[in-house]
Structure 1
Amino acid sequence: MSGAYTPQTAMFIFAHPDDIEFGVAGTAAKWARAGSRVIYVVITDGNVGSHEDGMTPERLAEIRRAEQTAAGQVAGAECLFLGYHDGFLQPTLELRKDLVRLIRQYRPDAVVCGDPSNYFPAEDYINHPDHRAAAQAALDAVFPAAEMTLLYPDLAAEGLVGHKVNYVFVSFGERVNHFVDITDTIDLKIEALQKHVSQLGQWNPADMIRQWAADTGKKVGFAYAEGFYRITLQSLDTPATAQPEI
């Protein structure tokens, strides 16, 4: 399935600075161009992602937040940083509540996250445990926690009552049922990724990103695309009152 769906507000929840740019920034930029409010939630600061002599976690966190902020600006996204420690991420109840707070505060129509079941997507790659933990926490926060007002009475007392997300777009997984045409935003995706200088060094990822997007696009006739497993929790075509509570 492919389509031109544009959420009013979209929240992208990922583990590290640059995760969004490598995977789904084309979609983020497309939605932002179409008028969406796009919010990036970056759970860790990626503060151990360096082999540079003399680098410290504190300094690296500052660098990577600045790089992610610049990348977000290219796509038209706001960045929120939760400050969890890189490499130690777990899908804890604390993290779930942090995400529920943000979902209730910003009330996104769509949430984009990774696939927690994606352990080894290729013969030469093991998916980072932080990626899986972030994806698990995001899904657990979206459903059912974010919509159950009674689950967090302290948040409700602050005015942050339950919110039901319409769609979840799961990326980086084997199951794909929805494609987003990023032909018009592939250049923005590459430009955003190139803001992560601390991670790329002298490497130019443009050819790789274009090849990935072209391979995905071929499946549905787009020059460049990003693929997702789209979960419909509440269709825009169906009144909320018709949705069963299960």
Structure 2
Amino acid sequence: MQTLLTPADLAARHGWRTALAVGAHPDDLDFGAAATLAGLTAAGVRVVQCIVTDGDAGGFDSEGPEAMTARRHAEQRAAAAVLGIDQVRFLGERDGFLEPNHRVQKALVRVMRQVRPDVVLSLHPERDWERMQRSHPDHLACGEAVVRAAYPAVENPYAFPELLRDEGLEAFRIRHLLLYAAPRARVDTAVDVTGLEEAKIRALDAHLSQHPDVEGMRSFVRRQMRDEFALAGGRGDGSAESFHLVEVNGADTIAGF
């Protein structure tokens, strides 16, 4: 059974005041969670975006990787601004070659300890066999790296101790993961984003380098949001984005199993 709540109600239910939203590439967050992020910022939640790769292998022209990186950074900042987000961090990994290794985990732990979010949005680490495009290898690697960083690394002072020694970044506990692009069997939370559809579309429109068929993209995204609303049991016309909500640390969480 899915939960169907507005972004504001979801944040209030779980006490979220700060969110870190992670994507493997520029535009991942906008396809997977832009309307939810717009609703969270409107509700007063502080949102920081983190993009793990530069998206340098994307696009449909021959500008070259350096020019494409600059363009995609600018596109992501423009998309974030549409959603009310003014902080976008780029980790600079190479598009198409992402691995959930210790270097990437350390970079994510650093950002998590800097931002200290209550909830981390990220791509799901499990493959969706029904729609392979959701499961780009970079997506899976990003999701796995985020999960490993969120538990146990970010809360373990002995993991990457140089972050505390050299940068003063103390360990802390993350409450929740909110994972998008999840396999259908894992989806348990649908966010009612009715009225926020155009913010999502405007954010996606910012990624001009990625859309050879802008109208086709818009139609697909609107249809997808309507379908998610219906699958979640919504009544009438509405839109939703779907997630797998994971409690990392709750009131009864203890160390170990």
Task: Pick the TM interval, shorter chain.
Answer: over 0.9
1:220 pairs with 213, 222, 233, which one? 233
Structure 1 CA distance for aligned equivalents of residues 80 and 192 of structure 2: 19
Alignment of 1:67-78 (within 5 A): 67-77=75-85, 78=87
SS of structure 2 residue aligned to 1:149: coil
Structure 2 residue 67 is matched with structure 1 residue 65 = no
Which secondary structure does the structure 1 equivalent of 2:50 belong to?
strand
| 1:116 has 2:125 as partner | yes
The Cα of 1:2 is off from its aligned counterpart by: 2.8
Q: Percent identity?
A: 34
Cα deviation, residue 52, structure 1 = 1.4
Report if the CA contact (8 A) 1:179-1:220 is conserved.
Answer: no
Q: Partners of 1:148 and 1:173 in 2: how far apart?
A: 27
Relative to structure 1, the CA distance from residue 113 to residue 125 in structure 2 (aligned partners, 3 Å threshold; closer, same or farther) is closer
Q: Does 1:136 align with 2:144?
A: yes
Are 2:175 and 1:166 equivalent residues in the alignment?
yes
What residue in structure 2 maps to residue 231 of structure 1?
246
Decide whether the 8 Å contact of 1:45 with 1:65 is kept in 2: yes
Change (3 A) 1:227 1:202: closer
The 3-state SS of whatever aligns with 1:151 is coil
Q: 1:197 to 1:13 in 2, by over 3 A?
A: same
- Paired letter, 2:243: F
TM-score (ref. length: structure 1): 0.92
CA contact (8 A) 1:165 1:234 kept: yes
Mapped partners of 1:74, 1:244: distance in 2? 40
State the alpha-carbon separation in 2 of the partners of residues 154 and 192 from structure 1: 37
Partner Cα separation in structure 1 for residue 146 and residue 134 of structure 2: 20
| Aligned counterpart, 1:211 | 223
State whether residues 17 and 46 of structure 2, in contact with CA within 8 Å, keep that contact through their aligned partners in structure 1: yes
Tell me how far 1:119 sits from its aligned partner: 4.8
Q: Give the C-alpha shift of residue 114 in structure 1.
A: 1.1
Deviations 1:136-193 (A, max 9, x none): 1011100110011122221122221111111101111121111111112111001000
Equivalenced residue count is 239
Asked if 1:176 corresponds to 2:178, the answer is no
Please identify which structure carries the higher helix content.
2
Partner Cα distance (1:203, 1:210) in 2: 12
Q: Identify which of 140, 155, 173 aligns with 2:163.
A: 155
Instruction: Tell me the CA shift for residue 121 of structure 1.
Output: 3.0
Query: Match for 2:208: what amino acid?
Result: V
SS for the counterpart of 2:21 is: strand
| Secondary structure of the corresponding residue to residue 150 of structure 1 | coil
- Say if 2:91 is the partner of 1:82: yes
| CA offsets 1:4-36 (integer angstroms, 9 cap, x no match) | 122211111111001111111111111011001
In the superposition, the TM-score normalised over structure 2's length comes to: 0.89
Whole-angstrom CA distance in 2 between matches of 1:116 and 1:127: 8
CA deviations 1:101-153 (Å, max 9, x no partner) are 1101110000011111115333x747211111111101110011001112222
- Retained in 1: the 8 A contact 2:60–2:209? no
Question: In the alignment, is the contact (CA less than 8 A) between 1:119 and 1:127 conserved in 2?
Answer: yes
Gaps of 5+ in 1: none
8 A Cα contact 1:121 1:127, kept in partner: no
CA distance in 2, matches of 1:220, 1:161: 42
Distance verdict in 2 for CA 1:145–1:185, change over 3 Å = same
CA distance in 2, matches of 1:62, 1:84: 14
